[in-house]
């Protein structure tokens, strides 16, 4: 039975935000979070951060459930701070947060523990050990997806939360909190994909947090960008995994998926499960299939475009056309025949875009990157800058989601037949 919650909060020189954050935790929680056997907040602070050290000594040191842990400074927030902090925790649930988070849910600790324990009782009674979920009793390595009001909760393309929470068993299985390959921003995506594809995500819609950030679409939780934000934005832009080609990200994700899930039979579990849909898995599966169909269409459209920049515009980010793309549906054609490139054979190999005419009698063949084009806006004539990876990534995601879509369609057919035969889906019987 879950009882102790461990919260990891890396922080640096933002004592006003840290003060608000701590007050919010205790204001929204029950009196239980004053008990060291029930809750711990680990503040991960740089050795050279005297401001935060002084604030802790003056304002937080009397809190029995708050600890400050010092470490050498690192540029890699996710890899070095969250994983470092997780290694110091003792709780049943491990939650990685930031000092700009606000918990919205009243009695949040009670809600969290109660719902998780309720869910795990269903797992241990075998309610999820069926063709739908394949979640056997005692399999407790999973991710808890919470509502961060960032639009991710409703999407089936991925399943992640900006401030992830995992079980103790999940940490022990991978021996890390977030994938070490995502050293900075983007680790929530990697972590979410690992557990989504393994079918080990519990979504708690009623558990809500807000993110006080300078780019929050919700004006109620928007604040000014500070120096820490500016620095982290620069560092995240240099993060290798942030711009890594899709196929390389897939290799990293699948490596961890194999460590999480059991190898048995066709494995196309739903992206996530909630206590609300345990009793109606068929409806949830249909909803996910519909969501996947929308995402597949989106990437199918992106696969027909190649992003380009015009060097003559005076900026490497200035688009050559209004939408910054070369439309493969007909804007450019074979120079010998009026055939749109979308109908020609297009090959992308060794960082080259090679096209040949669709007309069998035409021997036109060229590397599009070597061609000279005329910018209709600035008049520049010469070679454009092509971003092949954008198209390749869209194709990769399209293929990945298409395979999942096909698998879930097959599962849907199996479930419908099972339902017709037994008038039940192996879930919780009412």
Q: Is the per-residue pLDDT at 52 higher than 70? A: yes
Q: Tell me, yes or no, whether 124 and 26 share the same domain.
A: yes
Does residue 409 fall inside a structural domain? no
Residue 412 in any domain: the answer is no
Given a cut of 90, whether residue 67 has pLDDT beyond it is: yes
State the average pLDDT over residues 114-141.
Answer: 88
Nearest to 102 by CA among 167, 7, 23, 16: 23
Length of the chain: 430
Q: Given a cut of 80, is residue 427 above it in pLDDT?
A: no
Q: Same domain, yes or no, for 244 and 363?
A: no
Amino acid 192: pLDDT: 87
Q: For all residues of the chain together, what is the average pLDDT?
A: 80
Q: Is residue 148 part of a domain?
A: yes
Q: Which residues contact 9 (CB under 8 A, 6 or more apart)?
A: 18, 21, 41, 42, 43, 44, 85, 97, 98, 99
Give φ, ψ of 326 to 5 degrees.
-100, 115
Are residues 353 and 233 part of one domain? Answer: no
Rounded average pLDDT over 184-194: 80
The reported pLDDT for the residue numbered 342 is 59
Residue 50: CB atoms within 10 A of its CB come to: 11
226 and 310, same domain (yes or no): no
pLDDT of residue 316: 41
Distance, CA of 101 to CA of 25 (rounded, Å): 10
Q: What is the pLDDT of residue 125?
A: 92
Answer yes or no: are the C-beta atoms of 287 and 228 closer than 8 Å: no
**Helix, coil or strand: residue 387:** strand
Distance from C-alpha of 242 to C-alpha of 234, rounded to nearest angstrom: 12
21 in a structural domain: yes
| Within-domain flag for 416 | no
Work out the average pLDDT over 60-65: 94
Q: What is the CATH number of the domain that holds 43?
A: 3.90.550.10
Domain co-membership, 238 together with 381: no
Domain count, the chain: 2
The encoded tokens of residue 244 equal: 């890594």
The more confidently predicted of residues 59 and 356 is 59
Q: Higher-confidence residue: 100 or 346?
A: 100
42 lies in some domain: yes
Q: Which residue has the higher pLDDT, 40 or 360?
A: 40
- Verify that 263 and 364 share a domain, yes or no: no
Per DSSP, the three-state class of 400 is helix
Tell me how far apart the alpha carbons of residues 12 and 353 are, in angstroms, rounded to a whole number: 46
- At 236-263, the pLDDT tens digits run 555 566 666 777 888 888 899 988 876 6
Cβ neighbourhood burial of 193 (10 Å; 0-12, 13-18, 19+):
buried
Which of 88-92, 352-356, 403-407 is predicted most confidently?
Answer: 88-92
Q: Assign 90 a pLDDT band (cuts: 50, 70, 90).
A: very high
Averaged pLDDT, 45-65: 96
Give the pLDDT band (50/70/90) at residue 430.
Answer: very low
Is there a domain that residue 67 lies in? yes
Structural domain boundaries enclosing 34 = 5-273
Mean pLDDT of the 40-52 span? 97
* pLDDT bucket at 386, cuts 50 / 70 / 90: confident
Instruction: Say whether both 172 and 313 belong to one domain.
Output: no
Query: Does residue 268 sit in the same domain as residue 308?
Result: no
């Amino acid at each position: 039975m879950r009882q102790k919650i461990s919260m990891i909060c890396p922080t640096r020189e933002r004592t006003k935000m840290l003060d608000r954050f701590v007050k919010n935790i205790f204001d929204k929680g029950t009196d239980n979070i004053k008990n060291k056997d029930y809750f711990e907040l680990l503040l991960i602070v740089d050795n050279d951060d005297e401001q935060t050290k002084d604030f802790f000594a003056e304002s937080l040191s009397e809190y029995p459930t708050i600890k400050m842990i010092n470490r050498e400074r690192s540029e890699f927030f996710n890899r070095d701070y969250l994983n470092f902090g997780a290694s110091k925790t003792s709780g049943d649930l491990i939650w990685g947060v930031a000092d700009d988070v606000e918990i919205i849910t009243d009695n949040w600790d009670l809600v969290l523990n109660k719902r998780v324990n309720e869910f795990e009782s269903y797992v241990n009674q075998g309610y999820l050990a069926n063709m739908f979920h394949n979640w056997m009793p005692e399999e407790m390595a999973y991710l808890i997806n919470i509502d961060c009001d960032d639009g991710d909760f409703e999407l089936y393309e991925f399943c992640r939360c900006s401030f992830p929470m995992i079980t103790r068993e999940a940490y022990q299985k991978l021996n890390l909190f977030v994938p070490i390959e995502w050293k900075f921003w983007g680790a929530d995506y990697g972590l979410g994909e690992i557990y989504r594809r393994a079918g080990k995500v519990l979504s708690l819609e009623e558990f809500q947090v807000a993110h006080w950030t300078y780019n929050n679409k919700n004006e109620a939780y928007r604040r000014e960008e500070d120096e820490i934000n500016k620095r982290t934005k620069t560092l995240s832009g240099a993060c290798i995994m942030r711009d890594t080609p899709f196929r390389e990200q897939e290799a990293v994700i699948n490596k961890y998926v194999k460590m999480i899930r059991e190898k048995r039979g066709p494995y196309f579990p739903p992206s996530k499960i909630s206590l609300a849909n345990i009793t109606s898995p068929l409806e949830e599966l249909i909803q996910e299939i519909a969501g996947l169909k929308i995402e597949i269409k989106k990437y199918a459209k992106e696969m027909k475009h190649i992003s380009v920049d015009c060097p003559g515009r005076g900026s490497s980010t200035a688009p050559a056309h209004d939408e910054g793309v070369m439309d493969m549906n007909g804007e450019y054609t074979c120079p010998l025949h009026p055939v749109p490139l979308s109908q020609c054979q297009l090959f992308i190999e060794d960082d080259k875009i090679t096209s040949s005419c669709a007309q069998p009698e035409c021997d036109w063949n060229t590397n599009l990157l070597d061609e000279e084009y005329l910018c209709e806006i600035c008049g520049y004539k010469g070679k454009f800058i092509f971003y092949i990876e954008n198209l390749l990534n869209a194709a990769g995601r399209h293929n990945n989601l298409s395979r999942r879509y096909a698998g879930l369609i097959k599962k849907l057919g199996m479930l419908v037949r099972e339902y017709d035969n037994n008038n039940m889906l192996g879930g919780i019987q009412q």
